[in-house]
Amino acid sequence: METNEVIALITLIDQKSRESECTQLDYLLYLRKSLVESSPKALTGLDMLLPSYFFRGIAEDFASRKWLVASKYLPPVFTGDVKALPQKIAYYLKVCTSADQLTRESFADLVQYGNAAKIKPLIYDELKGLEDQLCSFNPMNATNTQILGIQNTLQQIVNLAGQYHA
């Protein structure tokens, strides 16, 4: 795919996702599904863009500043919607996974380019770990250790997602 075609595709994804009020990743996957049989060349271009949208979405959605406030003088406080975080985890565990059974190996199997194969299992482990941390988490009586653990896991997820390169 030529550079001008990639730019046009990115512009289309950006514009249509805003019009549809969905994420760029969701619109890209919708577009991909509609092109599976009709246009293999365009499908290849979308598949090349998919990892960037996937990892960027993870980095943005799990940035700890969205969920925690910390200062030098006070312990961190969980400020995000506790119910939204498990929904984000579930979304990313399934969004780019074509297999019916989610495993470490099948996680985000549609994401194939660059160093994605190296990063995906590590992100899977962190997402599952965060899921486990949240099972016993109650923000009303959370300990400093629990909050710091969640903060560290969120940061690790963001750091791993930021390591992607095509």
pLDDT digits (tens, 9 = 90+) for 110-149: 999 999 999 999 999 999 999 999 998 887 788 888 888 9
DSSP 3-state helix, strand, coil percentages of the chain (rounded to 5)?
A: 65, 0, 35
- Stretch 69-91: mean pLDDT: 80
Q: How many CA atoms lie within 13 A of 149 on its CB side?
A: 14
pLDDT digits (tens, 9 = 90+) for 17-44: 899 899 999 999 998 888 877 777 777 8
Q: What is the share, in percent, of the chain residues with pLDDT greater than 90? A: 51
pLDDT of 59 reads 95
Contact 48, 113 (CB under 8 A): yes
pLDDT for 1 beyond 80: no
